[in-house]
Amino acid sequence: MSPSQTLVLASGSPRRIELLQQAGIEPDRILPADIDETPQRSEHPRSLAKRLAKEKAEKAAASLRAEPGHAPAYVLAADTVVAVGRRILPKAETIDDATACLQLLSGRSHRVYSGVCLITPDGKQRQRLVETRLRFKRLPRAEIERYIASGEWRGKAGGYAVQGLAGAFVVKLVGSYTNVVGLPLYETTALLTGEGYRAHEAAPAGAIS
């Protein structure tokens, strides 16, 4: 038996929590790791996604170690980056952000990268990087304005949430759909089970603290 079946998710994202629950995995604890997500000079979107996931996992793990009487746990973190070529799109916080993102994505292809980092109870670190390619239809100004009015874009990388109204913008998607939502489920569950985490031993629903 592994030394611990406790899973800590280093993210407060409701989407990531829901995706894990969809796979029958219930985090025992939510411990968001706030870090500076500013891209480094000339940093590739792939590298940014990997680095941010790693830094989030390491920060959450350090916070756990600093707690009195802490017990070993699996620490899972992820970060999702939307890019057109090497241009990294922001996590839209304003209407101007979201409008600029949607205007750029209109009628074009783009890529979504998610870095996933797992720190095991014995301190090993494992990472995955997942890439999904998408193409949006041409978005008339009126359609962009309707989407902005919905508010679904707030805090979303690239200014959209594919699981909502923006799903109708997608002409083509190649790769993992759950990656675009915020957490590539196949790769994440494979990472966990490969390191000895057993989903059927996870805490029952409602155990999140």
Biggest distance spanned by C-alpha atoms of the chain: 57
**Measuring CA to CA, which residue among 124, 32, 22 is closest to residue 73?**
124
Torsion angle of the four alpha carbons 28, 184, 19, 163, in this order, in degrees rounded to the nearest 10 = 150
Of 28, 34, 79, 97, catalytic = 79
Give the C-alpha separation, 65 to 20, whole Å: 24
Give the C-alpha separation, 79 to 49, whole Å: 5
**Measuring CA to CA, which residue among 15, 24, 122 is closest to residue 78?**
15
Give the C-alpha separation, 6 to 121, whole Å: 9
**Is position 79 annotated as part of the catalytic site?**
yes
Catalytic residue annotation: 79
